[in-house]
Amino acid sequence: MRWVTHFLSATLSLSTLTRADPTWPNQIDELEEIMYQVQGYRSRQFGGTVIPCSSQASGPGRHNAAEWLRAAFHDMATTTIAGGPRRGGLDGSLQFEITSSDNIGPAFNTTLKFMADYYTSRSSIADLLALGVYYSVRSCGGPVVPFASGRIDAKQAGPIGVPLPQNTAFTFGQQFQRMGFDQTEMIQVVACGHTIGGVHENEFPQIVPIGSTENGEAPMDSTVAVFDNKVVTEYIAGNTTNPMVVGPSIRATRNSDFKVFNVDGNVTVRAMAEPETFSSVCATVLRKMIEVVPDEVVLTDPIQPYAVKPVDMQLTLNPGATTLQLSGLIRVRTTNFAGDSAESVLLTYKDRSGGNNCGTRGCTYTATVLGATQGFDDTFVWFPINLEIPASSGISSFTLTVNMASGTSETYDNNGNSYPIQDAILMQKPQSCLLQGKLDIVAAVRNDLNGSVPVNLHLSYKTPVADPNRPVPTLNDETVEMTRGNCVGLYTFYTASYEGLGDLDYATKIDVVAGTGESASRDAFNAASDIGANCVTFDAPPPSLCSRPVDPDPPVETSTSVTVTPTVTSPGTMTSTAAAETPYHRPTLGNFTLVGCNTEPTVAGARALAGASYVYDGMTLESCMTNCTGFYYWGTEYGRECYCGNKLHASSTNVTLDECNMVCSGDETEYCGAGDRLELYVTTGPIPTPTGTLAIKPTVTPYLRVGCYEELPSRALTGGVFPSNEMTLELCASNCDGFTYFGTEYGRECYCGQFIDARSNVTDDADCNMPCAGDETEYCGGSDRLEMYRLINPPTSTSMMPTPTVVPTHKPTVPPYAFQGCWN
């Protein structure tokens, strides 16, 4: 049987498995990030609806963690090992089985809809369902369930066969035996699967009568949102309230947990009565459950976090075509650092031919810490890479040295292979663009390959399924031959277009490939969401500078001067960084106006502008504006960082302009924010939508739009209400004069408030889809959705706040501690 040989190591704890990093890049990389980057900087947000375990994001009484755990079981349960090779197993067939009598209720549809956002060519639905078991168990305080990848999605529904409450104990035994579980394992799977969540009255009224519960759910044990052994200890003690053991289920012969637990005289459940035993047994049997796969599937080893991992490493040909820009991040696992910390990362690279000819700047680059990320059991810090490389010598690989605060260091060489980087074909993201389902891609191909190999664009894109009972979109593959264009220095540009990507165009993954087979050079798995709406013109050198790469030893020198003209100018044209003028805040730039100096959010891992980001030493206000073409907002920070977005995070606040006091690294006459301070600009007018003149207005003087928010039964804004059949955004802003926030709803309602109720969450902008009753060119919220705006310069205090009777002071000492100041 296929699963037996693979499962021999299932009893090993995760800590006993090898700690050697995979060789990068690796097929597991996408799932490794989803698995371990749980919260904080660059978190993948996969656990958004199951963290904390008590989360009921799908509605009252619906514990998402329990629904994720049971979704994996229902997907796996249609398998059979009888009569030949294993068929079915955890194969993603659940997406085709939503309307089956085995899968009543909304839980599985909701689960798959959420996971569909993470569905790519490198993360199958089956793998995501398996990973959901790890997330749901761990978020509820349960053990680590080792997760391996490699599952292949089914193309159709599996047979009916999920165990149902009305089955007899004998039938249960037969069904689990069909799946590959003996009697003891059957009892263990049921106990581990039922320790969180409950039974819903709408789906099982014979077990939980309608109206008998407060929120529609009857818990299976007294700790509904904790993965513990109460489901068995309360059963053994005879004080359980599990509706699948006691109550109406007995009369309806649907007391399935009792039938299963009692099939061996309660021997197995009594053996699980110790917390440590319960945890260990569940880790083992749940791993077996998610590793029930068809015979043709070969699973990887359990995925563990890299100690050091390059992320989103991207080469781009810079304007002028004489240099390449290497950008990306290095993630360092800090879980076992004890009191020490990673202070910097040294990247040492080899040129195109494997040598050390790297130009006048040398072959090294040092990066300092940018942010931190947390997993369930791990912590990570991030180091940004932004390295300029001579195009003449190029790059082939690099090694990484992590320098610790204690003075020690350790070098990582990718298991002796060095970390590979190819410079033969580069996707030019600035010159590429995506707008209304049309994708235009530019690739730079090195001239020694130009014309000698085919150059192709490969797309992996999603198409929504018309059937409302199919929650997962179709994943399509398309190959387009790229057209040869102009030669630019040592590279030649190739172009290709593809139309009709539809509403999910942002989810497209893009590969540009030079050559065929294993010898092909690839710039792969680029996200369409990382490219802008406008293709930026490339400042190319004169055709006379077009050439083939030469041997980088000795270095090639040239006296030719190529002038790079800025693509965007402003009132105050880009000037030399050597200019002796006094820096000042530019009130306007192009079609943008200065909002002021804004803080980064107080929410961990969040950004004031989350649409796109750029970091480089030549930062100017003009170049940041160009980078953010197509966005409503942009802002500069720390003198060399640029951020773009279509909405401003609600917890970003406006501070005095003098707090944005760092000059731009590329123009000392301009200010580019400061530490955690954005020099923030916003477009001066509405941006039309593709379907007509109706538009989102990013500003309604003196307010900034902060997004589409959920309405609450008790109201998200409680300061005032002004309904009108002549409602416009401007009218609502006027009615709410003096309030920090205003929001419009249902096209004709206006609400004001000094704060937004913390229970109101930001939703998709598409939910705010009703035109204003008094101006059909503006949006005024939607059904239970508020088009929310905040004062650009909110008051620092309000008469609504109580005056303290005691003035707080900083205590110089709190023995045995001494006050050291206020730290970020």
How do residues 443-491 score in pLDDT, each as one tens digit? 999 998 888 899 999 999 999 998 888 999 999 999 999 999 999 999 9
The predicted pLDDT at position 629 comes to 85
Six token digits for residue 120 = 């790519």
β 785-791/741-745 pair status:
antiparallel
Judgement on whether residues 48 and 70 belong to the same structural domain of the protein: yes
Same domain, 175 and 235: yes
In 369-473, DSSP assigns E strands to: 371-374, 379-390, 397-404, 409-412, 419-420, 425-427, 433-435, 438-446, 455-463
End-to-end CA distance of the chain: give it in Å, rounded.
Answer: 56
The number of residues in the chain equals 824
Q: Is residue 87 part of a domain?
A: yes
Say yes or no to pLDDT of 733 above 70: yes
- Give the model's pLDDT for residue 17: 38
Q: Over the stretch 205-260, which tens digit does the pLDDT of each residue have?
A: 999 999 999 999 999 999 999 999 999 999 999 999 999 999 999 988 999 999 99
Could you give the CA distance from residue 532 to residue 432 in angstroms, rounded to a whole number?
7
Tell me, what CATH number does 353's domain have?
2.60.40.2440
Q: What DSSP element (H or E) covers 252?
A: none
Measure the CA–CA gap between 658 and 676, rounded to whole angstroms. Answer: 13
CA distances in angstroms from 349 to 148, 318, 359, listed in the order given: 32, 19, 12
pLDDT for position 272: 98
Rg (CA), the chain: 29
The H-assigned helical ranges of 194-329 are 230-237, 248-251, 256-261, 267-271, 275-290
Name the domain boundary from 420, 446, 471: 420
The verdict on residue 822 lying in a domain is no
Identify the CATH number of the domain in which residue 136 sits: 1.10.520.10
Same domain, 250 and 339: no
Proportion of the chain above pLDDT 90, given as a percent: 65
Q: Is residue 295 included in any domain, yes or no? A: no
Claim to verify: residue 700 and residue 669 sit in the same structural domain: no
Q: How confident is the model at residue 558, as a pLDDT?
A: 31
Point out the domain boundary residue: 658, 683, 708: 683
Among the candidates 683, 718, 739, a domain finishes at 683
- Closest-CA residue to 707 (of 625, 749, 763, 641): 763
In this structure, the answer to whether residues 156 and 42 fall within a common structural domain is yes
Q: 192 lies in a domain?
A: yes
Coil, helix or strand at residue 495: strand
The CA distance from 412 to 398, in Å, is 10
Q: What is the pLDDT of residue 641?
A: 92
Contact 88, 158 (CB under 8 A): yes
In a domain, 601, yes or no: yes
Same domain assignment for residues 58 and 91: yes
What is the Cα–Cα distance from 521 to 14, expressed in whole angstroms?
36
Give the three-class secondary structure for 326: strand
The pLDDT tens digits for 373-393 are 999 999 999 999 999 999 999
Residues 506 and 652 in one domain: no
Q: Taking Cα atoms as reference points, which of 705, 709, 727, 712 lies closest to residue 768? A: 709
In the predicted structure, residue 728 carries a pLDDT above the cut 90: yes
The angle, 0 to 180 degrees and rounded to 10, between the axes of the packed helices 275-290 and 125-139 is 170
Assigned token pair, 824? 């970020």
More confident residue, 421 or 82: 421
Question: Do 596 and 651 fall into the same domain?
Answer: yes
Average pLDDT, the chain: 87
Q: Kindly state whether residue 817 falls inside one of the protein's structural domains.
A: no
678 is written with which tokens?
A: 């954005």
User: Would you call 763 helix, strand, or coil by DSSP?
Assistant: strand
**Residue 371: closest CA among 601, 33, 42:** 42
Whole-number pLDDT of residue 589: 85
Its domain, for residue 237, covers 2-290
Q: Give one DSSP letter per residue of 113-132, joined into a string.
A: HHHHTT-BTTB-HHHHHHHH
The residue with tokens 């937004």 is: 756
CATH of the domain at 717: 3.50.4
Q: Give yes or no: residues 253 and 372 share one domain.
A: no
Residue 800 pLDDT:
32
β 817-818/813-814 pair status: antiparallel
Mean pLDDT (whole number) for 385-403: 96
Q: Where are the alpha helices (DSSP H) in 681-742?
A: 729-735
d(CA 453, CA 771): 53
User: What distance in Å separates the CA atoms of residue 217 and residue 570, rounded to the nearest whole number?
Assistant: 61
How many domains is the chain built from?
5
State yes or no: pLDDT of 575 exceeds 50: no
Same domain, 724 and 755: yes
State residue 550's pLDDT score. Answer: 47
The reply to whether the predicted model has a pTM over 0.75 is no
The CATH number covering residue 465 comes to 2.60.40
Regarding whether 77 and 8 lie in a shared domain, the answer is yes
- Asked if 350 and 362 touch (Cβ cutoff 8 Å), the reply is no
Q: Provide the pLDDT for residue 765.
A: 84
Q: What angle do CA 541, 543, 547 make, to 5 degrees?
A: 90
